[in-house]
Structure 1
Amino acid sequence: MKIGITGSSGNLGSYLKNQFREYKLDYFNGRIENKSDVNKWIEGKSFDAIIHLAAIVPTSVVNKHKNKALDVNFYGTKNLIDSINKLHKKKIWFFYASTSHVYPFNKIAAKEVTKTKPISYYGKTKLLGEQYILKKTKKISPCIARIFSYTTKNQDKEFIIPSIINKLNTKNNIIKFSNMNHVRDFLAIEDICTAIKVLFKNKAVGIFNICSNKKINLTNIANVINSKYKKELIFDNNESTILFGNNNKILKLGWLPRKIDYENYLLKVI
């Protein structure tokens, strides 16, 4: 089987390649926001599936470059869908990496049927991509995965966990954190990759959460990481927000995330 992958050089893409090494992989190396680059990649090909990971993240970077983020995250996705529908020889399974940021904050775990209300501009750009994909299914069988939080050793310092490590890795003995009293849903990147593999093998169509269904406070993450640094931490008392997901839908397909102590996993990563 031949699988096309966009965003293969990113954190998730780099890990995912190992999960799909038994297939013939074709990586997109152009600019996803450039129609010509996308058309050249699609024309004449005979993909069985495309895994679309290319995007601008994290939220801090997106907020600084909103026009660029919209071009890549939405218009890049639109270019890819339009090109497939116009130029590809056959209908294919199409995987789109979306985000938990399409959901509103809530004390209840978000389900795939939860009404969307993006919590960030990043979430808005990804939701626009979702909506376009679901309208243009002429030659695609769409699978949309709303991926919750994760970390890796190579993740950009703008992401939350690398930013915490960066802040602790100074000569200061007293570290002040602001805007940390938030609850999120984290899982290991290896589990995200196996989830995508399960969706692919089932040729699953529709929207699926990829999440742990567990809550972890960002202040707890900082304290766990600080066990390596032994600094005095001071947190402000900002209003808390909660965002975590229900993963029952993908569990029914046979996905089995590992039962790990996420705190120990974080220590292993750092």
Structure 2
Amino acid sequence: MPSTKVLLTGSTGFIGSHIVPLLVDRDYDVFVLERYVTGRFVLGQMRSVKTVFGDLREYSTIKKIISEVQPDIVIHLAAISPVAYSYEHPQEVIEANFMGTVNLAEACIREVPHFRHFLFASTSETYGNGPNPRREDTPQNPNSPYAVTKHACEKYLMYMRDGHNFPITILRPFNTYGRKDNTHFVVERTIVQMLQSETVRLGDPNPVRDLLYIDDHTNAYLTCLENEKAIGEVFNFSTGIGVSIKQLVEIISKLTGFEGEVIWNTIPPRPLDIMELIGDYTKAKKTLGWEPKFKLEDGLKRSIEYWRNKLLKDKTM
């Protein structure tokens, strides 16, 4: 019996690069869609992962790819995701995120008669400011071009679900940490600065976030994958616990042994920022049996150990 074909977009990104080997380990027939011919190897898995190249904004190209690959399942992670970038480049973000998602979903429903499941990576950012904790039925108030595109994608996919019985699952993960090669986000930026210098420069200390470790995030996708209970539904994936940026920095300082100075408000504030964002994952727990396994300190210890080893290795090379 042939293996289930899974097409993954965003395979070279933070979440995608962690999901690819997990799919391979589970014997899926994995295809990854990349925008450019870059010569990159996806986690060294090229013997077991097939790469197809195309731009999600070009419907004719995506239609041809989907027609040829005939995926049973699509995991759609690809997006221009930095919130700050979206304020300055709204047209680019709308085209890539919204039109890219429409093109991909429409190609699947039109070109694959046996299509089984479309998993879409939305975001907790779609909630904007509002009451906490956020549940799936909490009113959404997206307050950045990035969040607006994700909200629009959700609405389009729900139309396809209701109008055409398209098998979607919408995942709304909360802020995730555990990056291996990117220090532009607050957890990794803080860790690396504390390991490298006596001075740490950060932005606003007051926002509160619900921080999810990468392994819990990837497990959310595996939990939804081919799960009948997930189809047609929207799920939050979070820890249910909020921590201010100031508290986060104090925890990292303690775990790294940092004794230097933290200078706040060195990064310009966003035009609109969410001051407190905490999720409620009750629905995912009751429906799917998913719950986070990593407490914040445990995930931070793993992240600190990784970056300590990486920085030491880079220094000796």
Alignment TM-score, normalising by the size of structure 1? 0.89
**Alpha-carbon separation, structure 1, partners of 2:181 and 2:193:** 15
Please show how residues 1-270 of structure 1 align to structure 2 within 5 Å. Answer: 1-21=4-24, 22=26, 23-29=28-34, 30-137=54-161, 138=164, 140-165=166-191, 167-168=193-194, 171=197, 173-175=198-200, 177-203=202-228, 204=230, 205-227=232-254, 228=256, 229-235=258-264, 241-252=275-286, 253-258=288-293, 260-270=294-304
**Alpha-carbon separation, structure 2, partners of 1:230 and 1:40:** 57
**Alpha-carbon separation, structure 1, partners of 2:199 and 2:80:** 33
Please state whether the residue corresponding to 2:125 is helix, strand or coil.
helix
Gaps of 5+ in 1: none
- Amino acid of the residue matched to residue 206 of structure 2? N
Gaps of 5+ in 2: 35-53, 305-317
Please state whether the residue corresponding to 1:3 is helix, strand or coil.
strand
Please report the RMSD computed on the Cα atoms of aligned residues, expressed in angstroms. Answer: 2.3
Offset from partner CA, 1:201-242 (integer Å, 9 cap, x none) = 423121100111111111122222334332122446x99821
Alignment TM-score, normalising by the size of structure 2? 0.77
Say if 1:176 and 1:86 are closer, same or farther in 2 by CA, change over 3 A. Answer: closer
| Number of aligned residues | 267
**Alpha-carbon separation, structure 2, partners of 1:85 and 1:32:** 16
Higher helix share: 2
How big is the shift at 1:119?
Answer: 3.1
Please state whether the residue corresponding to 1:111 is helix, strand or coil.
coil
- Amino acid of the residue matched to residue 222 of structure 2? K
How big is the shift at 1:175?
Answer: 4.2
- Conserved 8 A contact 2:281-2:291: no
Offset from partner CA, 1:124-172 (integer Å, 9 cap, x none) = 110111111111233620100011011123253332223334554665x
User: After alignment, is 79-88 or 244-253 more displaced?
Assistant: 79-88
How big is the shift at 1:24?
Answer: 1.0
Please state whether the residue corresponding to 1:207 is helix, strand or coil.
strand
- Amino acid of the residue matched to residue 88 of structure 1? V
Please state whether the residue corresponding to 1:20 is helix, strand or coil.
helix
User: After alignment, is 79-88 or 143-152 more displaced?
Assistant: 79-88
- Conserved 8 A contact 2:238-2:292: no
How big is the shift at 1:109?
Answer: 0.6
